[in-house]
Amino acid sequence: VTMLYYNVIVVLLRRFISVYKLTFYDYSQKEQDRAKTQKKKKEDPSVIKEKEVAKYPSCMFFQYNTQLGPPYYILVDTNFINFSIKAKLDVVQSMMDCLYAKCVPCITDCVMAELEKLGMKFRVALRIAKDPRFDRLPCSHKGTYADDCLVQRVMQHKCYIVATVDRDLKRRIRKIPGVPIMYISNHRYSSSIRYVSP
Ligand SMILES: [Zn+2]
């Protein structure tokens, strides 16, 4: 019987040692990898610094964007106007109902160009976009792809809210900290804005 116990103990010990070796090996491997990545980081410090700046702008205080406050400047995209017409919502009034503050909808040149391209069917949308209560923002980029234009604008200036119903654009905006989205749900406007407590 003692012989049997002895065998069992030996087997267990061997297994323990093999497991220990494996984990130790893994650990050393990871350590080497980490050292490699650190070396890589050291090689090119300027790139990382740029990224850090882009991630945490000075106007961001924890999760709140201190640059946002009434009057709210709201970048409107093409579909947002079209859906508002379908839902019979007045753009400026519905924005104010949503945020309880003065709102200035902003139309970029490329959104205007998109509306003009859509033709006669969307002439109501075009007329709304030319409303004097809307701010007109000039574009300096090539082409008329509005999504890229809006994303670039909010990356540079964190003073806008983006009004859109486009799923892809919403996903892109959500990744940018401090930029709230305005969308349409249940026949009214809603917003993902976080208010700064006074
Ligand atoms: Zn543009």
92 part of a folded domain: yes
> How many A from CA of 143 to the centre of ligand 1?
8
> How many A from CA of 86 to the centre of ligand 1?
25
> How many A from CA of 75 to the centre of ligand 1?
11
- CA distance to 78, 121, 134, 145, per residue, from 112 (Å): 8, 15, 12, 11
State the pLDDT confidence band at 192, using cuts at 50, 70 and 90.
Answer: confident
| Domain encompassing residue 95 | 60-191
Which residues keep their CB under 5 angstroms from ion ligand 1? 108, 110, 139, 149
Average pLDDT over the chain reads 83
Average of per-residue pLDDT across 36-65: 59
Counting residues of the chain whose pLDDT is more than 90, the rounded percentage is 41
CATH of the domain at 80: 3.40.50.1010
Closest residue by Cα to residue 180 from 149, 150, 158, 198? 158
> How many A from CA of 74 to the centre of ligand 1?
15
> How many A from CA of 107 to the centre of ligand 1?
9
Domain tally for the chain? Answer: 1
Region of poorest pLDDT, from 76-90, 136-150, 155-169: 136-150
67 part of a folded domain: yes
Two structure tokens written together for 6: 């002895």
> What pLDDT does residue 36 have?
72
> How many A from CA of 5 to the centre of ligand 1?
79
50 part of a folded domain: no
> How many A from CA of 113 to the centre of ligand 1?
9
46 part of a folded domain: no
State the pLDDT confidence band at 14, using cuts at 50, 70 and 90.
Answer: confident
Between CA 2 and CA 171 the distance in angstroms is 67
pTM over 0.85: no
86 part of a folded domain: yes
> How many A from CA of 43 to the centre of ligand 1?
36
Q: Which residue has the higher pLDDT, 196 or 149?
A: 149
> How many A from CA of 20 to the centre of ligand 1?
60
39 part of a folded domain: no
Q: Which residue has the higher pLDDT, 135 or 119?
A: 135
DSSP 25-48: HHHHHHHHHHHHHHHHHHH-HHHH
Average of per-residue pLDDT across 155-184: 92
> What pLDDT does residue 133 have?
92
18 part of a folded domain: no
Closest residue by Cα to residue 153 from 95, 76, 94? 76
